Chain A
Amino acid sequence: MGSVMSDLKNALGKNILDIARPRDNRIYLKVKPEDIPSVIKYLFFDYKCKFSTATGMDMREGIEIIYHFAREDKKMLINVKTLLPYPHPSIESIGKDIPAFDWIERELNEMLGVEFRGHPDMRRLLLADSFPPGKYPLRKDFQNSDVNDEDYDYEKSGL
C-alpha cells in the first residue's frame, strides 16, 4: 500500500506542493493550478485511476477544487487539491479531453463561478435557466433566502 505514495512521489514529485496520508486509504495531494492538467492526465491515463468526482469549496482566499480519484485495486482514494484565487477563479478544462470531467465542470461553473478555460459546452446543468445570473449558490456569501420565487425569471424557462 505504501507503494502508491512512492509511485506518486516518483512520477509527480516536482509538481507536488504537499502530500499527506491521514488514513491508510486516503492520500491528499496539493498542486498548483497550472500543473493540474498534467497531474490529472497522469492519474487517469497512466496510473489507471477511476475519476470519482470533483469538489469545489469556497475558502476565504479563493475556490479550492479537490479532484477525487479511486485506485480500486490498491484500495486507495487519491485527492488532488488546488486553490484558485479570487477574484477570477479560473483553471484549464479537463472535460475537453476526458468526457468523465465534462458534467462536473459544468456544475462547478454554475455553482461556484469557476471558469474552465476551453470547455466546449458550458451551459447550465443543474440550475434552472430562470435562475438569476451572477449568483453562485455554493459560495459562502450566498444565503438560501437570497433567491426566492420572485427572483426567478420564468420567461427564460424554455417553455
Chain B
Amino acid sequence: MDILKKSFKKSIWVFHLSTAACNNCDIEVLELLTPRYDIERFGMKLVGSPRHADALLVCGAVSAHAKPRLLEVYRQTPKPCLVVLFGSCACSSGIFRDSYSIVGPVDKILKKEDPDVKIVYIPGCPPKPEAMIEGIVMGLGAL
C-alpha cells in the first residue's frame, strides 16, 4: 500500500465529468491546461477514460439523468482514487438544491456507494484555477 500511496502522489491523472453543471467550472478546469496556469508542469493531466484516472473531478449538482452515469464512472475508476468536487454545486448542490431534477450533492451519492471515498471540496462559483491547484495539492497531502 505504501508504494501505491507514494506513486499516487506523483503526477496524478484526472478524469473530468460534469453532472448538470453550468459548465463554468468545466471551462475553468480546461483553463488549467492553457499556458497561463499550465497544470501539466505538475504532471497532472486530463485523461479520456476513468480507467486511466487517479482522480475524478466532478463539477455540478447531480441531476437524476446523470446520477447512474456518475456511479458507473466511479465504479470504473481504479481505487484508491481521489474525488475532487469543484465548485459550490458539486459541494452542496448550491442554488439548484430545491429542484425536482437534482437528486443531491455528489458526496451523499458517492458515500452511499463507497463509505471510504476520499473527497476534496473546492467551493466557489466558480473557484479560481489557483484554488483548484491548491485544493488538489492539499488533498494529496491529506491522503
Decide if A and B touch, CB cutoff 8 A.
Answer: yes
Interface residues of A (CB under 8 A from B): 127-131, 137, 142, 144-149, 152, 154, 157, 159
Known A157-B65, A159-B68; contact A128-B104, beta-carbon cutoff 8 A: no
Q: A148 and B98: CB pair below 8 A?
A: no
Known A159-B69, A159-B72; contact A144-B64, beta-carbon cutoff 8 A: no
Expressed in whole angstroms, the Cα–Cα distance for A16 and B68 within the complex equals 49
Q: A128 and B100: CB pair below 8 A?
A: no
Interface string of B65-86 (1 = CB under 8 A from A): 1011100100000000000000
Please count the residue pairs between chain A and chain B whose beta carbons lie under 8 angstroms apart in the complex.
38
Number of interface residues of B (CB under 8 A): 13
**B residues 69-118 in Cβ contact with A at 8 Å:** 69, 72, 98-101, 103-104
- B63 interface residue per 8 A CB criterion: yes
Q: A157 and B98: CB pair below 8 A?
A: no
- Which secondary structure characterizes the binding site on chain A? loop
- The interface residues of chain A lying within 8 Å CB-to-CB of B99 are 144
Q: B69 and A128: CB pair below 8 A?
A: no
B100 (CB) vs chain A CBs: closest residue = A147
Q: A144 and B100: CB pair below 8 A?
A: yes
- The interface residues of chain B lying within 8 Å CB-to-CB of A154 are 67-68
Q: A145 and B98: CB pair below 8 A?
A: yes
- The interface residues of chain A lying within 8 Å CB-to-CB of B65 are 127-130, 157
B97 (CB) vs chain A CBs: closest residue = A144
Expressed in whole angstroms, the Cα–Cα distance for A42 and B11 within the complex equals 62
Beyond the given pairs A128-B65, A130-B64, A157-B67, 5 more chain A to chain B contacts, judged by CB atoms under 8 angstroms and listed by A's residue number, are A131-B101, A137-B100, A144-B98, A154-B67, A159-B69
- The interface residues of chain A lying within 8 Å CB-to-CB of B64 are 128, 130-131, 149, 152, 157
Q: A127 and B101: CB pair below 8 A?
A: yes
Q: A146 and B63: CB pair below 8 A?
A: no
- The interface residues of chain B lying within 8 Å CB-to-CB of A129 are 65
Expressed in whole angstroms, the Cα–Cα distance for A145 and B72 within the complex equals 26
Q: A157 and B68: CB pair below 8 A?
A: yes
A131 (CB) vs chain B CBs: closest residue = B64
